[in-house]
Structure 1
């Protein structure tokens, strides 16, 4: 009888040790997951706060494309709630799916180099376009805005 009680006690202690190690592993995993989700939530909030929208009129292609200078000009509004830099550093432009080099950004606000919410900048890129349908996309951080226009 004593042997049976001792073996049950050993099995009980072993199961407690296994349960404790599993609980500690799960606790560590949950803490790591919480940190990752918190980081992603902050990044998503930043992306939402820094939204951009192309406000150029696609019905006026002559206001978008200058055939003489071979430039595409887009008016881009800071439609987020975060103030952005108006120097053009983080702004990328794709025209018809191809990256456009030589992006020029002009601050249309008060000229202080700050792109405040609801302010608009002029983004100009060099690109030779033929007649037909075209698409321009402005990327800033994790957000983008696309416009389709016809020449």
Structure 2
């Protein structure tokens, strides 16, 4: 009888050790998953709060032939502040990524909701005809079609 209870005790202890190891692994995995969800929700919240509109008039001359510069006015219509810095704004003109961009806040010091920035996109040697500029900020995309 003593040998049966000793073997039961050994099996019980082994099962408790295995259960503790499994529980520790699950706890660590759930903690990582929770952290990932928190990080993702912050990004999604920022994207949802970001909204821009290109308010330049398509009929007005937005392209300067002598300086090869496209000038666009963009309004922050979202609820979040957006850094008025070209590293936070992606710009494509006729499908080509542009890095020669000057950002100037027109009505204030920061690009807050309802404020406007002037984007001066340099190095855009455009021929006569129809063109498109795409502006991307925090996943929000706006396309502006214009004619030179």
Q: Same fold (TM over 0.5)?
A: yes
Q: In the alignment, what sits opposite 1:115? A: 111
Q: In the alignment, what sits opposite 2:134? A: 137
Q: Is the 8 A contact 2:84 2:103 kept in 1?
A: yes
Q: In the alignment, what sits opposite 2:70? A: 72
Q: TM-score, normalised by structure 1?
A: 0.79
Cα deviation 1:97-139 (Å, max 9, x = unaligned): 2222321223221xx3211201221211121112344221223
Cα deviation 1:20-61 (Å, max 9, x = unaligned): 110111111111211121122112222333332223344x2x
Gaps of 5+ in 1: none
Determine whether 1:23 maps to 2:23: yes
Q: Is the 8 A contact 1:92 1:103 kept in 2?
A: no
Count of aligned pairs: 147
Q: Is the 8 A contact 2:92 2:135 kept in 1?
A: yes
Determine whether 1:125 maps to 2:108: no
Gaps of 5+ in 2: none
Cα deviation 1:62-102 (Å, max 9, x = unaligned): 43323343221211111221223435453332212222232
Distance in 1, matches of 2:61 and 2:104, equals 16
Q: Is the 8 A contact 2:92 2:98 kept in 1?
A: yes
Distance in 1, matches of 2:51 and 2:32, equals 29
Deviates more, 1:112-121 or 1:16-25: 112-121
Distance in 1, matches of 2:129 and 2:30, equals 54
Q: Is the 8 A contact 1:92 1:138 kept in 2?
A: yes
Distance in 1, matches of 2:105 and 2:141, equals 19
